[in-house]
A and B are shown apart, each in its own frame.
Chain A
Amino acid sequence: MSQFLEISGLKARIDADGQEKQILRGVDLSIPPGEVHAIMGPNGCGKSTLSYVLAGREDYEVTAGSVLFKGQDLLAMEPEERAAAGLFLAFQAPVELPGVNNANFLRTAVNAVRRARGQDELDAVAFLKLARTAAKELSMAPDMLKRNVNVGFSGGEKKRNEVLQMTMLEPSFAILDETDSGLDVDALRIVAEGVNRLRSPQFSALVITHHQKLLDYLVPDRIHVMAQGRIILSGGPELAREIDREGYTKFLAEAEAA
């Protein structure tokens, strides 16, 4: 049966200063609709690369494998088409856009995906009402909407802004790349609640994290461990706690032996 998201044998590399560098070495992963999965794994194993490849970043060359998203060939789509199809990526390092007003950016984005999805565009008034409510639920200061996109935002403010965008863009599949890192305890809870509010049988998420804390709030359906560009192990929520206690060494060694 075709899953909601089906990644098979995905390999990708990057041209780093003339050197071909293989980063993803055959990723297999499927996520059914309505589920939240987490990926954990040591620094540099390829987690962010996977999220970029799924979102369509052109720097990475896909050399093998396929990705089906709601039955569509995801890899054949432009980044903005993927967004319109419901894919959202909360960036590990959100990008600054100097001079671009945050509310204006958000409205442009919301209306772009609404248009592509055949929905009516939001006028300025309707949009602002929604955006203000969403920002308030994330305990964001009201002036965040007036400032330039991510410019001068604190680490935590950037992450909250990502979640605000996610809320407004109504994705069916969200990838959160270390959205929890850099958040204080309250912010962590607020962000997790933001994700939980989106949960429904039509919404799935892939959460990349290093910390147990976020997973306590989100309670993922599955945990996957990534190492050296592959998923080496999958399990239930208890796997995360095991990693938290014992680190990756044990799992890496087992994977090596296998």
Chain B
Amino acid sequence: MPAVTETREAVEKLGQSTYKWGFETEIEMDMAPKGLNEDIIRLISTRKEEPEWMLEWRLAAFATWQAMREPTWAKVSYPPIDYQDLHYYAAPRRKPGPKSLEEVDPELLRTYEKLGIPLHEQALLAGVELPEGETARPPVAVDAVFDSVSVATTFRKTLEEAGVIFCPISEAVKDHPELVRKYLGSVVPAGDNFFAALNSAVFTDGSFVYVPKGVRCPMELSTYFRINARNTGQFERTLIVVEEGASVSYLEGCTAPMRDENQLHAAVVELVAMDDASIKYSTVQNWYPGDEEGRGGIYNFVTKRGACRGARSKISWTQVETGSAITWKYPSCILQGEGSVGEFYSVAVTNNCQQADTGTKMIHIGRNTRSTIIAKTISAGRSDSTYRGLVRVQPKASGARNFTQCDSLLIGDQCGAHTVPYIESRNMAARIEHEATTSKISEDQLFYCRQRGLSEEDAVGLIVNGFCRDVLKELPMEFAVEAQKLLQISLEGSVG
């Protein structure tokens, strides 16, 4: 069948160009032994062909990490992690995965179907091993690869013309060392916290974005990222620098539940915004939450922080968190520049045995800085969710203003929701408002919807989406629609 051969060839060609563009992680055939020590870090650095300074930086972070203890203040519990029992440099899917879709958790497959993911992509997402003799490049997602690559090529040209740098962080270390050296760790220092230190020592994947002065990034760095995000790393590192008067909208994540053999994920994201710059960072996190008992779910310990260095700069975090067994995540803004603005819009959903401790920190340093926090927490099943938010106003931050709204929605009576606001104001002229509500989906609402013909699950989905509207409307359009579907799917079976 010539058509098939043709398609294959086309895909192969395109596949290669993707690799050149560099977002496909190359399939390494070797794997470092378990454990973490200086030799492993040297190995990572060598494999990545890194300059000496990068290795030094990693080693220093490692030394810091060794002196630190794993934090215990979050309201999550999990068995102790043996950090010496992990591979820190391994090819993706080296450990035996499911041999075919038949071996994959049927629940997961059902979800894929609901999301309308084609079979061959389901296999990829579920980490099904390739049969003997097949090429290392996953023979999957032909259409997706085909489309995405052609789209990607056009994207790349557009970005280059605008002067925007968008590449894997490991490439940036080599090609733009002056920028990386200047900004890496400048927002989240290697010693910031236990997981950040670990990430700094061993990170291997992630993205680098640089938007030069006065440039509005001509496209959302979303579709592009999503289609390339298949091998999202265990220790991802993202650095986004936006110069004076420039702006960018960046989207990470994937609505399809991603399975990963690495249970522990510890990413670091750093954002830097100069005068009048603006960064919009949106996340849809849907890591595998484990089965109904929480077995096999991902632990997600993330440090995300943005520095509004310039006057009138703006950083906006929007997140929809539905996945992971454990989520530990506090995207924050350091509002240094006068009149700078920080925003945090969050939806966190927990079901079954999931645990989430998330929130934000808004640190007001400059005068007339403003921040808005809208956090929506939805708990179902036996899950437990905590919103933890810090608003700190430094003495010089006259005219600072914060508005916080935390709403929790409980589904059923076995779940928990907690709100832990920390407010520290050292400036009398600051204005801080905090509103919090806790509600249950009312029987009245459910019955009203069902009387109109909606199934109970559709009714819950509709009510939940209504509850989250203020956050969802902050997401880029295409993603908002998927996120809505995702919310509903995450809560399936939670009522009745």
Residues of A whose CB lies within 8 Å of any CB of B are 55-59, 78-80, 82-84, 88-89, 91, 94-95, 97-100, 105, 108-110, 112-113, 116, 148, 165, 169
In the complex with contacts A97-B445, A108-B458, A79-B450 CB distance below 8 A: yes
Q: Are the C-beta atoms of A83 and B445 separated by less than 8 Å?
A: no
* A112 touches which of B442, B453, B465, B467 (Cβ 8 Å): B453
Given contacts A80-B455, A112-B452, A112-B453, could you give 12 more A-B pairs where the C-beta distance is less than 8 Å? A55-B447, A58-B447, A80-B450, A83-B450, A84-B453, A95-B448, A97-B466, A98-B466, A108-B454, A108-B462, A110-B453, A112-B455
Q: Are the C-beta atoms of B452 and A98 separated by less than 8 Å?
A: no
* A99 touches which of B450, B453, B465 (Cβ 8 Å): B465
Bound-complex Cα distance A32 to B92 (A): 68
The chain B residue sitting closest to A110, CB to CB, is: B453
Tally inter-chain residue pairs, CB-CB below 8 A.
Answer: 76
Q: Are the C-beta atoms of A80 and B448 separated by less than 8 Å?
A: no
In the complex with contacts A59-B443, A95-B444, A95-B445, A79-B466 CB distance below 8 A: no
Q: Are the C-beta atoms of A100 and B454 separated by less than 8 Å?
A: no
Chain B residues near A55: list those with CB within 8 A.
Answer: 447, 451
Q: What are 14 A-B residue pairs whose CB atoms fall within 8 Å in the complex?
A: A58-B443, A79-B450, A80-B453, A91-B448, A91-B451, A95-B444, A98-B466, A98-B467, A99-B465, A100-B462, A100-B466, A109-B454, A112-B452, A169-B453
Within 8 A of A (CB), among B451-483: 451-456, 458, 462-463, 465-470
Chain B residues near A56: list those with CB within 8 A.
Answer: 450-451
The 6 closest A-B pairs by CB, nearest first: A99-B466, A99-B469, A100-B466, A109-B452, A113-B453, A79-B450
A108 CB to closest chain B CB (Å) equals 6
Chain A residues near B466: list those with CB within 8 A.
Answer: 97-100, 148
Chain A residues near B444: list those with CB within 8 A.
Answer: 95
Bound-complex Cα distance A147 to B73 (A): 42
Bound-complex Cα distance A116 to B453 (A): 9
The chain B residue sitting closest to A113, CB to CB, is: B453
Chain A residues near B449: list those with CB within 8 A.
Answer: 97, 105, 109
The chain B residue sitting closest to A51, CB to CB, is: B451
Residues of B whose CB lies within 8 Å of any CB of A are 442-445, 447-456, 458, 462-463, 465-470
Bound-complex Cα distance A55 to B448 (A): 10
The chain A residue sitting closest to B473, CB to CB, is: A99
Chain B residues near A110: list those with CB within 8 A.
Answer: 453
Q: Are the C-beta atoms of B451 and A79 separated by less than 8 Å?
A: yes
Chain B residues near A99: list those with CB within 8 A.
Answer: 465-470
Q: Are the C-beta atoms of A112 and B458 separated by less than 8 Å?
A: yes
Bound-complex Cα distance A59 to B447 (A): 10
Bound-complex Cα distance A99 to B469 (A): 6
Chain B residues near A82: list those with CB within 8 A.
Answer: 451
* A94 touches which of B448, B450, B455, B458 (Cβ 8 Å): B448
Bound-complex Cα distance A116 to B458 (A): 14
Chain A residues near B458: list those with CB within 8 A.
Answer: 108, 112
* B450 touches which of A78, A91, A97, A105 (Cβ 8 Å): A78
Bound-complex Cα distance A107 to B69 (A): 54
Bound-complex Cα distance A108 to B450 (A): 11
Bound-complex Cα distance A88 to B453 (A): 9
Chain B residues near A80: list those with CB within 8 A.
Answer: 450-451, 453-456
Chain B residues near A83: list those with CB within 8 A.
Answer: 450-453
The chain B residue sitting closest to A109, CB to CB, is: B452
Bound-complex Cα distance A112 to B455 (A): 8
Bound-complex Cα distance A84 to B449 (A): 12
Bound-complex Cα distance A169 to B456 (A): 18
* B452 touches which of A57, A78, A169 (Cβ 8 Å): A169
The residue among B442, B443, B450 with the most chain A CB atoms within 10 A of its own CB is: B450
Bound-complex Cα distance A27 to B329 (A): 58
Chain B residues near A165: list those with CB within 8 A.
Answer: 452
Bound-complex Cα distance A135 to B443 (A): 28
Chain B residues near A91: list those with CB within 8 A.
Answer: 448, 451
Q: Are the C-beta atoms of B469 and A97 separated by less than 8 Å?
A: no
A138 CB to closest chain B CB (Å) equals 17
* B451 touches which of A89, A105, A108 (Cβ 8 Å): A89
A98 CB to closest chain B CB (Å) equals 6
Chain B residues near A108: list those with CB within 8 A.
Answer: 454, 458, 462
Q: Are the C-beta atoms of A97 and B463 separated by less than 8 Å?
A: yes
B452 CB to closest chain A CB (Å) equals 4
Bound-complex Cα distance A80 to B456 (A): 8
Chain A residues near B467: list those with CB within 8 A.
Answer: 98-99
A37 CB to closest chain B CB (Å) equals 20
Chain B residues near A148: list those with CB within 8 A.
Answer: 466
Chain B residues near A116: list those with CB within 8 A.
Answer: 453
* B465 touches which of A94, A95, A100, A113 (Cβ 8 Å): A100
Bound-complex Cα distance A99 to B442 (A): 15
Q: Are the C-beta atoms of B447 and A79 separated by less than 8 Å?
A: yes
Chain A residues near B463: list those with CB within 8 A.
Answer: 97, 100
The chain B residue sitting closest to A114, CB to CB, is: B453
Bound-complex Cα distance A110 to B455 (A): 12
B345 CB to closest chain A CB (Å) equals 14
Chain B residues near A97: list those with CB within 8 A.
Answer: 445, 448-449, 462-463, 466
The chain A residue sitting closest to B469, CB to CB, is: A99
Chain B residues near A58: list those with CB within 8 A.
Answer: 443, 447
Bound-complex Cα distance A79 to B451 (A): 5
Chain A residues near B443: list those with CB within 8 A.
Answer: 58-59
Chain A residues near B462: list those with CB within 8 A.
Answer: 97, 100, 105, 108
A235 CB to closest chain B CB (Å) equals 30
The residue among B451, B456, B462 with the most chain A CB atoms within 10 A of its own CB is: B451
The chain B residue sitting closest to A87, CB to CB, is: B451
Chain B residues near A79: list those with CB within 8 A.
Answer: 447, 450-451
Bound-complex Cα distance A88 to B452 (A): 7
The chain B residue sitting closest to A78, CB to CB, is: B450
A122 CB to closest chain B CB (Å) equals 13
The residue among B450, B452, B454 with the most chain A CB atoms within 10 A of its own CB is: B452
A52 CB to closest chain B CB (Å) equals 8
Q: Are the C-beta atoms of A57 and B447 separated by less than 8 Å?
A: yes
Chain A residues near B447: list those with CB within 8 A.
Answer: 55, 57-58, 79, 95
A210 CB to closest chain B CB (Å) equals 22
B56 CB to closest chain A CB (Å) equals 51
B461 CB to closest chain A CB (Å) equals 9
The chain B residue sitting closest to A52, CB to CB, is: B447
